[in-house]
Structure 1
Amino acid sequence: MPGKILIVDDEVHIRMLLEQTLEELEEDFDVEILSASNGEEGLGIIVEEKPDLVFLDIMMPKLNGYEVCQKVKADPALRNVNIVLLTAKGQEVDRKQGLELGASRYMTKPFDPDEVLDVAKELLNIEDSLA
């Protein structure tokens, strides 16, 4: 079942690293990868494209990741969108807030590319037959 992944981060090198990490899913499982450079743009793409999975930074201009997550989870049409907050904010209070807002996962930067790939496969229900 092909799906869509949206990467929302205001740092271009983080977006590129995530795209490179996830390109295996694009090639092997026909997953479409989209990206946005701020929360407002990301929310617009979420509403328009309804991705299956969003890797969402918290500290961004226009709308922060918490605000985007809250708006997505408040919209019944978007409730099936899985959100992974991927952020440098590693405090337990930040993690708790993100999960309370409806995020599926909370991961901290710097991230392990293999863990990002595993989380994406799990949340997209992709069986890795090569494993």
Structure 2
Amino acid sequence: MIRARIRDMLPQGNFEVLEAQDGAEGLQLIRQVHPNLVLMDFLMPRMNGWEVLQQLQQDATLWDIPLVVMSGRKEEVTEHVTEPFEYFEFVGKPFERHDLVEAIRSAMAKARQRASKPAPAPVAAGSSAEVAELKQRLKTVEEELASLKRQMGQLVTFIKQRLQ
């Protein structure tokens, strides 16, 4: 229903609209077709917008496709990507036709700027495993830090009691 509403908002033109039901299907379609523009919701089943965005940025053949990301909650997007959004244009839901058209124009301008820069270096194989390992290490360090803070608080309390 949302996809149909957005399709109806698009300006008239000689172009084909392709649709995907989720992020994984959308990414597969993008890789097959290499479209001139991608409109995607940030919250999607199977693969969310953040995951699709990362895949597009890591692929030198796809990284300069104009991209419009939509969400009813901008804070979900800014959790992953800080503003200003350099790689894509954001449009908050609900939006009107003129908002969508302006977001498309802006996304295309951003893509032209990216196209003038060198493509990103491919990500080394296994890097996601490295990231997962680093995240686990960070979690362990954070847990140890929290434990040390508790112990320090107990020590300060003990010393204050002894001094009184």
Tell me, in whole angstroms, the C-alpha distance in 2 between the residues paired with 1:124 and 1:70.
Answer: 19
Q: How far did residue 97 of structure 1 move?
A: 2.6
Tell me, in whole angstroms, the C-alpha distance in 2 between the residues paired with 1:90 and 1:36.
Answer: 22
- Asked if structure 2 preserves the Cα contact closer than 8 Å seen for 1:98 and 1:106, the reply is no
Aligned to 1:97: 80
Q: How far did residue 99 of structure 1 move?
A: 5.7
Q: How far did residue 75 of structure 1 move?
A: 0.2
Tell me, in whole angstroms, the C-alpha distance in 1 between the residues paired with 2:105 and 2:90.
Answer: 16
Gaps of 5+ in 1: 1-12, 126-131
CA deviations 1:26-58 (Å, max 9, x no partner) are: 3xxx12211111001100110011112111111
Instruction: Identify if the C-alpha distance between structure 1 residues 53 and 109 changes in structure 2 by more than 3 Å, giving closer, same or farther.
Output: same
TM-score by length of structure 2 reads 0.58
RMSD (Å) for aligned C-alpha atoms: 2.2
Aligned to 1:35: 19
Which structure has the higher relative contact order (CA within 8 Å, separation 6+)?
1
Gaps of 5+ in 2: 110-164
Indicate the structure (1 or 2) with the bigger Cα radius of gyration. Answer: 2
Aligned to 1:18: 6
Tell me, in whole angstroms, the C-alpha distance in 2 between the residues paired with 1:81 and 1:96.
Answer: 23
Q: Which runs of 4+ in 1 moved over 2 A?
A: 93-103, 118-125
For these two proteins, the number of residue pairs brought into alignment is 108
Matched residue SS, 1:68: helix
Instruction: Identify if the C-alpha distance between structure 1 residues 102 and 74 changes in structure 2 by more than 3 Å, giving closer, same or farther.
Output: farther
Q: How far did residue 98 of structure 1 move?
A: 3.8
Structure (1/2) with the larger strand percentage? 1
User: Percent of aligned pairs with the same residue?
Assistant: 27
Q: How far did residue 80 of structure 1 move?
A: 1.7
- Asked if structure 1 preserves the Cα contact closer than 8 Å seen for 2:42 and 2:69, the reply is yes
